[in-house]
């Protein structure tokens, strides 16, 4: 009896252990910033249209697989430099409106719409990295070529750089949103055009700078000339005002000198003695002592 009990306990222990192992194996964790996709392998199989949220998930051990996809921000870098993105040349080359080659380093930041992640898995059956470097990269190239073909190489390198970038971003947002990709930012990190185009742009910039410098010098010269004219005008006005003031003073003084005023001023200075000379008219004074003998 004791032997049977020992065997039963051992069997029960093994069963419990097997059940525990199966339970642990069936427990799946969906990490933060991810959603899961349930892939059924039994009963005809198929992909569940409902994404699995973050947390623990019990799956059917032998009839179900769970695939995780990130919903956090992803950035695809397509660069010529081996130090950016993957260690190969993934830059994009398109043609401008005049048929010149334009080589670009670009990047695209995006997230996945959690509700559409099951559809993404159903269509591509691959990891997000492989989807990005194949489908998304090809869509970027299509969008860049479609937009850049509207502009010259010179415009893409200089004046239309931001406008063309925005148009490509709008293209990608419209095209990729239907597939479950939410576009955050499309960036053109570097634009390479033929050297002849660069030289022509630099020459044009130099000409514009020289023209602006010449215009500034003309404005400076005109301002200095106006300043000199204003200064001369001011000096002339000052002289005229001074002359007018002096003339007014002289006129006022002349009007104030009357015969009575002259007589008054003479009386102010008289010392009480009769003058030796008296007269009127043109000869104001006469000698009153003329013809008298000198007193002894």
Residue-range domains of the chain with CATH: 2-70 (no CATH), 74-193 (3.30.479.30)
**pLDDT score recorded for residue 7:** 67
- Band (pLDDT 50/70/90 cuts) for residue 238 is confident
What stretches of the chain show up as alpha helix (H) in DSSP? 2-26, 117-124, 128-131, 137-148, 153-157, 161-177, 195-256, 259-269
d(CA 171, CA 149): 14
Question: What are the residues whose beta carbons fall under 8 Å from the beta carbon of 169, sequence distance 6 or more?
Answer: 183, 185, 186
Instruction: Tell whether pTM > 0.75.
Output: no
122-135 per-position pLDDT tens digit = 999 999 999 999 99
8-state DSSP, 251: H
- Band (pLDDT 50/70/90 cuts) for residue 136 is very high
Which two tokens mark 79? 């660069």
- Band (pLDDT 50/70/90 cuts) for residue 228 is confident
> Across all residues in the chain, what is the average pLDDT?
81
DSSP bridge partners of 52 = 36
Give the residue-averaged pLDDT of 265-282: 60
d(CA 97, CA 148): 7
CB 76 within 8 A of CB 132: yes
Distance of CA 40 to the CA centre of its chain: 51
4-40 per-position pLDDT tens digit = 666 666 666 666 666 555 555 567 888 999 999 998 8
Helix axes 161-177, 137-148, angle to 10 degrees: 140
**pLDDT score recorded for residue 128:** 94
Long-range (24+ apart) CB contacts under 8 A made by 123-130 are 123/179, 128/69, 128/70, 128/74
What share of the chain has pLDDT > 70, as a percent? Answer: 73
**pLDDT score recorded for residue 296:** 44
What share of the chain has pLDDT > 90, as a percent? Answer: 39
Edge to edge, what strands does the sheet with 34-40 contain? 46-47, 34-40, 64-70
Detail the DSSP E strand segments found in 49-100: 55-58, 64-70, 74-78, 92-95
pLDDT at 288 over 60: no
Lowest mean pLDDT: which of 214-223, 241-250, 268-277?
268-277
Which two tokens mark 152? 């010259």
């Amino acid at each position: 009896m004791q032997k049977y009990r020992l065997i039963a306990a051992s069997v029960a222990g093994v069963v419990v252990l097997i059940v525990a192992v199966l339970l642990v194996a069936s427990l799946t964790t969906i990490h933060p910033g991810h959603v899961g996709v349930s892939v059924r392998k039994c009963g005809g199989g198929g992909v569940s249209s409902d994404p699995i949220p973050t947390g623990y998930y019990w799956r059917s051990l032998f009839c179900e697989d769970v695939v995780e996809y990130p919903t956090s921000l992803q950035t695809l870098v397509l660069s010529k430099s081996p130090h950016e993105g993957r260690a190969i040349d993934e830059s994009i080359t398109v043609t401008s409106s005049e048929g010149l080659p334009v080589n670009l380093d670009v990047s695209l930041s995006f997230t996945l719409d959690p509700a559409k992640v099951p559809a993404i898995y159903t269509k591509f059956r691959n990891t997000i990295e492989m989807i990005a470097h194949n489908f998304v990269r090809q869509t970027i190239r299509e969008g860049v070529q479609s937009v850049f073909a509207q502009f010259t190489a010179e415009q893409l390198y200089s004046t239309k750089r931001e406008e063309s970038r925005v148009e490509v971003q709008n293209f990608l947002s419209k095209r990729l949103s239907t597939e479950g990709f939410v576009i955050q930012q499309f960036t053109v990190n570097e634009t390479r055009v033929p050297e002849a185009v660069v030289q022509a742009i630099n020459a044009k910039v130099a000409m514009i700078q020289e023209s602006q410098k010449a215009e500034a010098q003309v404005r400076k010269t005109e301002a200095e000339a106006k300043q000199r004219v204003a200064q001369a005008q001011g000096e002339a006005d000052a002289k005229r005002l001074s002359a007018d003031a002096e003339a007014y003073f002289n006129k006022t003084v002349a009007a104030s000198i009357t015969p009575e005023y002259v007589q008054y001023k003479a009386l102010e200075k008289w010392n009480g003695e009769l003058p030796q000379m008296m007269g009127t008219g043109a000869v104001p004074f006469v000698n009153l002592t003329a013809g008298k003998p000198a007193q002894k």
